Amino acid sequence: MKELEKKIGYKYKDISYLENALTHSSFANESRHGIRSNERLEFLGDAVLSIVVSDYIYRNCPKLPEGELSKLRAALVCEKSLCRFASDLGVGSYLKLSRGERNLGGASRPSILADAFEAIIASIYLDGGMEEAAKFILRYVEPEIKNPKPRAFKDYKTTLQEIVQKNPEEHLSYVLTGEEGPDHDKHFSVEVHLNNNVIGKGGGRSKKEAEQQAAREALKLMGY
């Protein structure tokens, strides 16, 4: 754990935050000692990541309009980018996974790595505050902005939102309709609603992936 702490570049006052950030639900579910998974930290880390990235690109990309800022943020915080950041940090070898999850390659699964990276952000935020969390995040985000790499990622959610928001009275929402399979092989189903109408359905190994696929189907339905 001390080795990872050095890689992160932050000295924890309470190392249990980092230990919790590395605990996957498969490990927590197998434990008989009431160990908590990193899911709550993932939720918080996602919010901290969003505000730090939004603030940074707003201040440092003054010529970009709102739509382009949204696309840039989405590319920086998507599962593919977070997985890459986590891999660079070597998070996979420190994850606490059930034996079955680890045998099935959970330590290198993009959704698990991305979630753990968000949980680590939250662990730093809770232990040391927003300034320390921002330092950690920007260590990965700044190079991506200054030396952008070609990205295959297509942000269907942002594209759909930009189309819908042209009509202020329209309301777009994503609804989780299904979650099945064991922890090591989850599948999520999502519907995207325009007001009360279902305009797209999607599935994937993570909620984010399922939402992107639902938005993609909606765009096809709308002729885009």
User: DSSP characters for 144-208?
Assistant: HHHSPPP-----HHHHHHHHHTTSTT--EEEEEEEEES-GGG-EEEEEEEETTEEEEEEEESSHH
User: From CA 166, how far away is CA 186, in angstroms rounded?
Assistant: 35
Cα–Cα distance for residue pair 9/13, rounded to 1 Å: 13
The two structure tokens encoding residue 61: 């990309």
Tokens representing residue 141 in the block? 């985000």
Strand order from edge to edge, sheet including 187-194: 172-180, 187-194, 197-204
Active-site residue identified among 42, 79, 101, 118: 118
Which one of 42, 46, 101, 211 is the catalytic residue? Answer: 46
Separation between Cα atoms, residue 177 and residue 116, nearest integer Å: 24
- Determine whether 79 is an active site residue: no
Cα separation of 71 and 45, whole Å? 20
* 144 among known catalytic residues: no
Tell me, what DSSP letter sits at residue 224? -
How many CB atoms are closer than 10 A to CB 100? 14
Active site residues: 46, 118
